[in-house]
Structure 1
Amino acid sequence: MMRVTRRKFLRATGAGTALAKTGGMAAILASGQAPAYAQTQQVHWLKWNDFVPASDVLLRKEMLPAAEKELGMKINLETVNGNDLQPRVTAAIQAGAGPDLIMAFNNQTYLYADSVVDMTELAEDLSSKEGGLYKYARSICSNGKMFMGMPWAVIGAMIAYRKSWLDEVGATTFPDTWEAYRDVGKKLKAKGHPLGQTLGHTFGDAPTFTYPYLWSWGGKEVEADGKTVVINSKETIESVKFMAGFWKDAYDEGGLAWDDTNNNRAFLSQTIAATLNGASIYIESLRKPDQYITEKGTQMNKDIQHAPLPKGPAGQFGFHLLQSHMLMKYSKNQAAAKQLLKWIHTTSNYEKWFISQKGFATPCTADWEKHKVWNEDPVMTPYKVAGRLGQAPGFAGPPNAKAAEALSKYIITDMYAKAVQGTPAEEAVKWAEGELKKVFI
């Protein structure tokens, strides 16, 4: 048997060359770390705790292990409450270190444009393969010069309601105007089934209610120039006056400071009749059909329907939570992070995640409107076109950094919250005007 010496082994395996390049075994031991060729790339991905828990389970148990094996990298998925994402971004940028990929909501991308890697190549490649990115996704993720985030999904905001309870007060179809909704809500509240809504500082349900409500009355923050603040208008004041009465007549007044989970719990515990939400309430009732039972002993999921927000004098609008992923400039794993994004957005991979969402999340490209998932459950159909119909914060101006700042400060939401707590409409609007001028001018 031929004797294999240490020298022959190192030459045969190439390790000798590597040792030479790194200064030998002594240098490796002195440095306390393996040479670069032996290190595994790692990507730290920070996203929200999904309102469809099964999707996070799918990522952890199946999809990311497959990605690690195929891409030859380690993926650290971290999930947090959605309200905690923006503070984490700010802290990471200030420290110059943190997660490589961070989920962003709505036009938060504009706030961090100088701190993120351009994702145009990946985004345009996805657009070309899947029927085009929605205008809504493009406007929020791209400033016209670069894609500040890779579009991920649109979380449609629709009103979930108990059909039998509305039937009992004579609303056999969902009311399509604010006046009609107020009338139905007043009757429901009298029967112990009020409407539910938050006007608190929470990323989802509060702004996705107050912004479309404002627009539907003809109110807006700024003109198309993105500079001229026009919130103090007859239309806005009328919307605030109506909201103050509407809240008292029809809503659970304790909902003022709810976060994005309180209304889910209130609906499923049968204390409210309707609430603006993603489809997570319905999906949870499907997941645990024997747990969520109506007062008549039937499965609650059979009594849940969805509808868009009602119309106002100026029309009907929607603001749907758009999620994207930012690749941070401080990241030392940019190439690997792009590989991960490309892998997970490959149709066959992304489809697994999309199906697990059961319609809660709408993809950002048009081809997904044709997917069979939308035909499997008619209750989910209204969510199909959320990405096509969404309007961005900052309307009628662009959804830029100033619009994102106004959204982050909850100025529009606070204007209505002040009114329902007793501040005169004119005073609440004047306050909002002053706050918006600090941002836009």
Structure 2
Amino acid sequence: MAKTKRRSVLKLAGGAAAASMGGMAAILATGRMPAFAQQRTVHWLKWVDFVPASDTLLRREMLPEAEKALGIKINLETVNGNDLQPRVTAGIQSGAGPDLIMAFNNQTYLYANSVVDLTEIAEAVGKEQGGMYKYARAVCSDGKMFMGMPWAVIGGMIAYRKSWFEEAGATKFPETWEQYREVGKKLKAKGRPIGQTLGHTFGDAPGFTYPYLWSWGGMEVDPSGKVIMNSKETLESVKFMQGFWKDAHDEGGLAWDDTNNNRAFLSQTISATLNGASIYIETLRKPDQYKTEKGAPMHTDILHSPLPKGPAGQFGFHLLQSHMLMKYSKNQDPAKEFLKWIHTEKNFEKWFISQKGFATPCTEKWEGHKVWTDDPVMAPFKVAAKLGQAPGHAGPPNAKAAEALSKYIVTDMYAKAVQGMSAEDAVKWADGELRKIYV
């Protein structure tokens, strides 16, 4: 009996102890706990949320609950959104890094060979919560696998100062680009320009330039993937932008990232900007700090609107977030368990409520949530995930479209033009850059 028990202990203790036949002494000599006693750990990397309360909720409440329920340790790391993609690349190259990494838009296609298929989890959540939006499915799935687990859509709407627009003669938000330009010209003359980035930043720049291009009828490629950027429609959009920028915009916006416009709006140096709802939510959070020039809480003077219509219609491109489970991860099973846990309706709802409408879930059931009726100012964001158009339109949001987005080709076309390059040359440049990708 003694001999049998000793063998059992050695077997549990691991290879090092078994080889030396030294029992507990050998375990202690290795300096490591036995494998059966090691706690499973999941390293989760995501952006620093533009709604700070949500990250606080995760750290103080939700992750401790998940750890207790699942018996795993979750290490949450947050970084600036622009730093996520370099971390993915570094992890793949080194074969080590975070287990779960947040991805933006169709970045998932760039890493399809380096991620774990999450179809089972995604389809289950979609079935339980009213169906997955077409936009989320297109961006996260290539039809064969879910390369990322859809998390949320950050709706991009124009936040604007209601009273300032009324002073400029706009009792409602302008419906067309021409109307927006005319109102913006009046506002800029009063020292209240429109604020818009044309820089290399993940959210607000492409969130503006892509729908703007589509609204004029311009496209990177046709449905077959043939590059058609150099078109009459694209050229007209660039020519209009050159005048629109000079007439109505804060021209320093060229260098902005996704935080500069928030600060400019809150400091009352711009009258409108394409943004998520983070500006409005911040003014709700600190009503005594952010006031209008007349002393009223600023949140009472902020409304939201979709981007204006162009000759070809009205479009939106909203930042879609997903989480990729990396193939190099040694914690794939606990990571999947965590994804299932946090996407369970009663758990996800806590996080969603903390967002106050800044994030729109990727399944249809949430359209009927009271978040949208509790604050009518947030109502335009309710259908962001339903109406979003994927990068690469009218072609598929594949790896080539993702590469073009990552290289900011569409945004740079407009940036070059407003800085002095001729509209014709800017369009030819963009067309040439796209042809290097779509070969």
TM range (shorter): over 0.9
Tell me, yes or no, if the aligned pair for 1:11 and 1:17 is still in contact at 8 Å. no
Which residue is 1:206 aligned to? 205
Which residue is 2:331 aligned to? 333
Deviation at 1:28, TM superposition (A): 1.9
Among 223, 238, 250, which residue is 1:252 paired with?
A: 250
Q: Matched residues in 1 for 2:246 and 2:10: separation?
A: 79
Tell me, yes or no, if the aligned pair for 1:48 and 1:85 is still in contact at 8 Å. yes
How far does the alpha carbon of each residue in 1:380-421 deviate from its partner, in whole angstroms, 9 at most, with x for none? Answer: 000000000000000010000000000000000000000100
1:323 and 2:321 matched: yes
1:165 and 2:164 matched: yes
Q: Matched residues in 2 for 1:435 and 1:419: separation?
A: 15
AA at the equivalent of 2:265: F
Q: Matched residues in 1 for 2:198 and 2:98: separation?
A: 31
| 2:77 match: secondary structure | strand
Q: How does 1:105-120 map to 2 (within 5 A)?
A: 105-120=104-119
Percent of matched pairs sharing the same residue: 77
Deviation at 1:295, TM superposition (A): 0.4
How far does the alpha carbon of each residue in 1:46-96 deviate from its partner, in whole angstroms, 9 at most, with x for none? Answer: 000000000000000000011011111110000000000000000000000
Q: Matched residues in 2 for 1:83 and 1:109: separation?
A: 15
1:28 to 1:307, Cα distance in 2 relative to 1, 3 A = same
AA at the equivalent of 1:191: K
Q: Matched residues in 2 for 1:281 and 1:39: separation?
A: 44
Q: Matched residues in 1 for 2:251 and 2:380: separation?
A: 28
AA at the equivalent of 1:117: V
Deviation at 1:20, TM superposition (A): 8.1
Q: Matched residues in 2 for 1:413 and 1:317: separation?
A: 16
Q: Matched residues in 2 for 1:95 and 1:324: separation?
A: 22
Among 286, 289, 307, which residue is 2:287 paired with?
A: 289
Tell me, yes or no, if the aligned pair for 1:178 and 1:311 is still in contact at 8 Å. yes
Deviation at 1:35, TM superposition (A): 1.3
Deviation at 1:25, TM superposition (A): 2.0
User: Which 5+ residue runs of structure 2 have no aligned equivalent?
Assistant: none
Q: How does 1:295-314 map to 2 (within 5 A)?
A: 295-314=293-312
1:404 and 2:402 matched: yes
Q: Matched residues in 1 for 2:133 and 2:29: separation?
A: 54
Which residue is 2:30 aligned to? 31
AA at the equivalent of 1:431: W
Q: Matched residues in 2 for 1:84 and 1:56: separation?
A: 17
Q: Matched residues in 2 for 1:196 and 1:413: separation?
A: 15
| 1:397 match: secondary structure | coil
Tell me, yes or no, if the aligned pair for 1:133 and 1:365 is still in contact at 8 Å. yes
Q: Matched residues in 2 for 1:384 and 1:86: separation?
A: 28
| 1:151 match: secondary structure | strand
TM-score of the superposed pair, with normalisation by structure 2: 0.96
Q: Matched residues in 2 for 1:223 and 1:240: separation?
A: 19
AA at the equivalent of 1:172: T
| 2:323 match: secondary structure | strand
1:44 and 2:48 matched: no
Tell me, yes or no, if the aligned pair for 1:155 and 1:360 is still in contact at 8 Å. yes
Which residue is 1:18 aligned to? 12
Tell me, yes or no, if the aligned pair for 2:39 and 2:72 is still in contact at 8 Å. yes
Deviation at 1:33, TM superposition (A): 1.2
AA at the equivalent of 2:288: D
User: Which 5+ residue runs of structure 1 have no aligned equivalent?
Assistant: 1-6
Q: Matched residues in 1 for 2:141 and 2:291: separation?
A: 45
AA at the equivalent of 1:18: L
How far does the alpha carbon of each residue in 1:316-369 deviate from its partner, in whole angstroms, 9 at most, with x for none? Answer: 000000000000000000000000000000000000000000000000000000
Among 403, 415, 419, which residue is 1:417 paired with?
A: 415
Which residue is 1:378 aligned to? 376
| 1:77 match: secondary structure | strand
Tell me, yes or no, if the aligned pair for 2:14 and 2:35 is still in contact at 8 Å. no
| 2:219 match: secondary structure | coil
AA at the equivalent of 1:385: V
How far does the alpha carbon of each residue in 1:199-253 deviate from its partner, in whole angstroms, 9 at most, with x for none? Answer: 0000000000000000000000001012x11000000000000000000000000
Tell me, yes or no, if the aligned pair for 1:47 and 1:102 is still in contact at 8 Å. yes
Q: Matched residues in 2 for 1:119 and 1:408: separation?
A: 23
Deviation at 1:17, TM superposition (A): 6.1
Q: Matched residues in 2 for 1:408 and 1:371: separation?
A: 34
Tell me, yes or no, if the aligned pair for 2:13 and 2:35 is still in contact at 8 Å. no
Deviation at 1:11, TM superposition (A): 6.1
| 2:204 match: secondary structure | coil
Q: How does 1:264-275 map to 2 (within 5 A)?
A: 264-275=262-273
| 1:144 match: secondary structure | coil
Which residue is 2:238 aligned to? 240
AA at the equivalent of 2:60: K
Which residue is 2:134 aligned to? 135
Q: Matched residues in 2 for 1:420 and 1:156: separation?
A: 26
Deviation at 1:26, TM superposition (A): 3.6
TM-score of the superposed pair, with normalisation by structure 1: 0.96
AA at the equivalent of 1:144: G
AA at the equivalent of 1:109: T
1:279 and 2:277 matched: yes
Which residue is 1:429 aligned to? 427
Tell me, yes or no, if the aligned pair for 2:165 and 2:171 is still in contact at 8 Å. yes
Q: Matched residues in 1 for 2:100 and 2:10: separation?
A: 36
Q: Matched residues in 2 for 1:145 and 1:359: separation?
A: 31
Which residue is 1:4 aligned to? none
| 1:193 match: secondary structure | coil
